[in-house]
Amino acid sequence: MARVMLIEDDHSVRESLRLSLGRNGHDVEAARTGEEGLRRLSAAPADIVVLDLMLPGLDGFEVCRRIRAGGSTPIVMLTARGDDLDVVSGLEAGADDYVVKPVRPRVLEARIRAVLRRGGPATAEAASAGPETHGDLTIDRGALTVFRAGVPIALPPMELRLLLELSAAYNQVFSRQQLLESVWELDFLGDSRLVDACVQRLRAKIEDVPSKPRYIQTVRGFGYRFGPL
């Protein structure tokens, strides 16, 4: 399974999640503060971080930003409520997904599995097709790599999955709910903020001017499409 860094200040919640994740086969490293979690991540990188937002000292938002600035380690944040400000701020800071407290271990496990799939194994057709080029953007589905003007772009799992999904159907319009189902694997009425925040972060990496995107176009009132202008 995965090496999980769990950063949670509440002892009972931390121990409960550590035990439940361990029972699912994960190697869990637990930290009480953001500072401790960052130190441990620096010493031994994790496959995924489960991060509480309301931490003493360095809060979860800043921890999330620092983790994201240093690489593409996926992050699932824990929030005490589905509050708009908390969720949006966490997603904008770089989280890939969120789970509302009180955390149900089965829900958290499902979110971890979905985030870690990274777009899934390449099909034989995708692997043999070779890289595809769109303007200065090169996508290799077989290798799960993305280059912009020849420079590799490190994308966290959900951003990579979103780009692969959109670019696989040139000019096709996807609703936010369709993307929630195919990328986040949420087969119920999910949170469209996950999609919008992920698009915003992805545009910042692949677009010359994110506010005037060339690649990921917004279709007002519906969703998004991939179609270089």
Which residues 6+ apart lie within 8 Å of 54 measured at CB? 9, 60, 79, 80
What is the model's pTM?
0.84
Question: Which domains are present in the chain?
Answer: 3-116 (3.40.50.2300), 124-226 (1.10.10.10)
Contact 50, 6 (CB under 8 A): yes
d(CA 92, CA 85): 10
Phi and psi torsions of 78, nearest 5° = -110, 130
Rg (CA), the chain: 18
**Residue that the structure tokens 């070779």 belong to:** 130
Which residues 6+ apart lie within 8 Å of 204 measured at CB? 210
List Cβ<8 Å contacts ≥24 apart for 23-31. 24/109, 25/1, 26/1, 26/2, 26/112, 27/1, 27/2, 27/3, 28/4, 29/3, 29/4, 29/5, 30/6, 31/5, 31/6, 31/7
Q: Tens digit of pLDDT per residue, the chain (229 long)? A: 799 999 999 999 999 999 999 999 999 999 999 999 999 999 999 999 999 999 999 999 999 999 999 888 999 999 986 667 888 889 999 999 999 999 999 999 999 998 887 544 444 455 556 799 999 999 999 889 999 999 999 998 899 999 999 999 989 999 999 999 999 988 766 788 999 999 999 999 999 999 999 999 999 989 999 987 6
d(CA 133, CA 181): 26
- Residue 102: is the preceding peptide bond cis (ω within 30°)? yes
The two tokens of residue 181 are 């189902």
Query: H-type helices in the chain, by residue range?
Result: 11-23, 34-43, 60-70, 84-93, 105-116, 124-129, 157-167, 176-182, 192-206
Q: How many CA atoms does the CB half-sphere of 54 hold within 13 Å?
A: 11
Nearest to 93 by CA among 36, 34, 163, 13: 34
Side chain identity at 77, as an amino acid letter?
Answer: M
**What pLDDT, in 10s, does the model give residues 99-152?**
999 999 999 999 999 888 754 444 445 555 679 999 999 999 988 999 999 999
